[in-house]
Chains A and B, each alone.
Chain A
Amino acid sequence: MKKVFWIALREFIATVATKAFVIGLLFLPVIVGVTLFAINLMNDDDYRAVGKIAILDPTGRVTAEARQVLSSNAMEARLASQLRETDSLLAASADLVESLDIGPEFTLMQLSADASIDDEKQYLLLPPEAGGLLALVEIHADAIEAESTESDFGSYDLYVAPNIDDRESDAVEFMLEDAIVNLRFETYGLERETIDRLTRISGEQSITVTETEERETFGALNVMLPAAFMFLLLIGIMGGGQGLMTSTIEEKSSRVVEVLLSAVSPLELMAGKLFGFMSVALVGMIIYLAAGLFALTSFSLFGLIDPMLIVYLFIFFVIAFFTVGSVMMAIGAAVNELREAQSLMMPVTILIMMPWFLWLPISRDPNSALSVSVSFIPPINTFGMLLRLSSTEPPPTWQVWLSIGIGLLFVYVSIWCAARIFRIGLLLTGKPPNFKTLIRWIRAG
């Protein structure tokens, strides 16, 4: 056991005490930060939709109303109101929207009643400086007043220039819809402001009641929390597994492996490397976890995390790491260089990526047949069960421990198979094995 410890210690120090590790550890948060900053930087706060819009309006009322909508800053007010209704968290954004004069600067041209839409479409292809149109609108005759009390209202057809920005397109639609709805209210003798107030429910509160506390409900966090835990698990396993494979390939290609095998058994070597890289991955995981918990504490959301969830995170991490790590190490032992490992790694990579596809269905319905099945199928059961555990409806305890039991059994099988490949592959050079050969090694080992 002491030899396993020394091997683990060497692997740990050799990995952690490198610039690459520190850079790798900081890389993710830095890249996320830089991306957010860049998006923010690229986000043009002064953006304003500009362009000419031609409207063929058989009702004769929509164009004027649309001009009114544009001139009265009604769009900003409406947008701010919508933001407030969506979520109280966005109230600040709504104030910002209101304070900014970000309304579109459209020039509206009403076409004569006999104008041909097909002829006008040609102007959509011209640049603005040559008199080109941003959009061409054909209002339906019954857009404001329905033909009968039973029939639906008409709408409008919108033709846009090929290079139109989605924000411009949205602004056009927003303007037209606002104008049409205003006119409908007016036509039917209704006061929009009153109806808006009647149909708006604001200031509502959702309180999540737990056994220990009552707190504000954060719907988005209910989905994001499982993702965060799955991410922690994935990043630890991917980083550690990749490191194990690379280090095994290096030891094999630098011929140091036979020196090691003269001092320790292949199983001791494998165990030492697994523990060493697991410690490395744990360091990374703990740092990210601590950062996450710190962030939650800053927003007074620490209560969202059940401490047992963190315990389960570590249990499932160990299971997943030993499973994936032993397989990655066997791959490393079987090949001569990293390039040769790609084809053998493909199935492992697909398995590791699978939780990404299962994240939403499991976190939204953690007790569905799919979710329950996934949490018992190794090797993805660790991810499946962790997603369920961090969801709004955690599974019964017996299911958790059954999943852990299945995971441990699979760890045993993985290490047993990997050890056989590891022992044979380490000393072999030449053509890398295919899956058939690997199976033969497992049977012969």
Chain B
Amino acid sequence: MGDAIRLEGVTKTFGDMIAVDNLDLSIPTGGLYGFIGPNGAGKTTTIRMLMSILFPDSGTLQVLGHGSALAAKDKIGYLPEERGVYKNMRVGAYLKFIARLKGVAENTIEDRIQTLLGRVELPDVAGKNCEDLSKGMQQKIQFAAAIINEPQLLILDEPFSGLDPVSMRLLRDQIVAEHNRGATILFSTHVMPQAEEICDHVIMIHRGTKVIDAPIQAILGQYDTGTVIIEPLDVAADTSDLAKIRGVEAVHARDGHVELHLAEGTDQARVMRRVITTLPVARMELSRPRLEDIFVRLVAGGSDEDADELISELNSPAKAPAAV
């Protein structure tokens, strides 16, 4: 199976600002990739280049086997970050218009519209004006428009922004459904739990450069062996004895749990066995970073050295999870 998307050495500048810097990227057909990074990292610019809305200053780009998305627009679904609808147009007419632009067969359009409106749980809005819908409803219509042509490649730029938790869940299910149908999906998001939950691969860019390109399980599997998290069975239990365990440098009580910070070279398995004999626990695990932690550390971590250290840490071979 080939790549649905391939970027090699792509650079894009706006005046003096380098938006995307020598970016290499490949997304295999059928993949479900999350594209994350802080604001201004270059995600939208990259996506716009993928859609041939912008063009790179240098580098090559392939989308669904074509040198430009212009040749494959009918096979691509796109939900831009800055999206809108024709306010004075009826929902059905709008979807029909987009379907026609996307080359959907004329005799299937009406059925397709009804199916999609049902999927986004807005079955009765076809006759309503777009401006009469709430922002969240409009967003669902925009998503329906993005998949109206049953795209081979679906690119979603911040699809969850502005949605309530219920709509967010619905959209997540629809993204997964499209993936199950066989579509390759690339979506950018700031909602890290969603990315963790549905992506099978994550690409993170920072200041126009790719900093992470790894399967989600590999990222989440990189345990921080220096910290053990304990949730005591009795939340009011005295945890002061935990500090006396050899190798434990510090004990921090957090919301409902306790973190044991171990000295370098400490045998975590031994510490964990000692914990059990010291205190009844409801849960105990080695700490592992969430995507959000990585994101925050990268963006708010301060110095470039910190970021570089984190990047190198994340790109090193994953350590094996410790057994409890």
A residues adjacent to B (C-beta < 8 A) = 2-3, 6-7, 10, 14, 251, 254-265, 427
Contacts and interface: CB of A to CB of B under 8 A. Distances in A.
B85 A254 contact: yes
B80 interface: yes
B94 to A, nearest CB: 9
A331 B74 CA distance: 29
A211 B302 CA distance: 89
Interface in B82-121: 82-89, 97-98, 100-103
B86 A6 contact: no
A258 B83 contact: yes
A259 B51 CA distance: 11
Contacts of A259: 78, 80, 83-85, 98, 142, 145
B259 to A, nearest CB: 44
A20 to B, nearest CB: 11
B53 interface: yes
* Among A254, A259, A262, A264: residue with most chain B CB under 10 A: A262
A258 B86 contact: no
Given A251-B86, A256-B83, 7 more contacts: A256-B84, A259-B84, A262-B51, A262-B73, A262-B76, A263-B74, A265-B52
B89 to A, nearest CB: 7
Residue in A255, A258, A263, A264 with the greatest tally of chain B CB atoms within 10 Å: A263
B288 interface: no
B98 A263 contact: yes
Interface of B: 48, 51-54, 70, 73-74, 76, 78, 80, 82-89, 97-98, 100-103, 142, 145
A10 B97 contact: yes
Q: Identify which of B51, B88, B97, B103 gathers the most chain A CB atoms within 10 Å of its CB.
A: B97
B87 to A, nearest CB: 6
A256 B85 contact: yes
Nearest to A258: B80
A269 B73 CA distance: 14
B27 to A, nearest CB: 17
Contacts of B51: 261-262
Dominant secondary structure of chain B at its interface with chain A: loop
Q: Is chain A's interface secondary structure helix, strand, loop, or mixed overall?
A: helix
A431 B102 CA distance: 33
Given A262-B80, A264-B73, A14 B53 contact: no
Query: Among B51, B73, B85, B87, which residue has the most Cβ atoms of chain A within 10 A?
Result: B73
B80 to A, nearest CB: 4
B78 A262 contact: yes
Residue from B51, B76, B80, B85 whose CB has the most chain A CB atoms within 10 Å: B80
A408 to B, nearest CB: 27
B88 A14 contact: yes
A262 B51 CA distance: 6
Contacts of B76: 262
24 contacts: A2-B100, A10-B97, A14-B88, A14-B89, A251-B86, A254-B84, A254-B85, A254-B86, A255-B82, A256-B85, A256-B86, A258-B53, A258-B80, A261-B51, A262-B51, A262-B53, A262-B73, A262-B76, A262-B80, A263-B74, A263-B101, A263-B102, A264-B101, A265-B52
A3 B101 contact: yes
A290 B87 CA distance: 34
A73 to B, nearest CB: 65
Nearest to B48: A427
Contacts of A262: 51, 53, 73, 76, 78, 80
A6 B53 contact: no
B83 A427 contact: no
A261 B76 CA distance: 12
A6 B100 contact: yes
Contact of B54 (A10, A265, A427): A427
A399 B179 CA distance: 63
Contact of A261 (B53, B74, B89, B103): B53
Nearest to A428: B14
Contacts of B53: 258, 261-262, 427
Nearest to A256: B84
A399 B318 CA distance: 79
A257 B48 CA distance: 13
B17 to A, nearest CB: 13
Contacts of B80: 255, 258-259, 262
Most buried by A among B53, B88, B101, B103: B101
Most interface-central of A6, A7, A254, A258 (chain B CB within 10 A): A258
Q: Which has the most chain A C-beta neighbours within 10 Å: B70, B86, B89? A: B86
Contacts of A427: 48, 53-54
B225 to A, nearest CB: 45
Given A261-B51, A263-B101, A14 B86 contact: yes
A3 B70 CA distance: 13
Contacts of A261: 51, 53
A263 to B, nearest CB: 4
Contacts of B145: 259
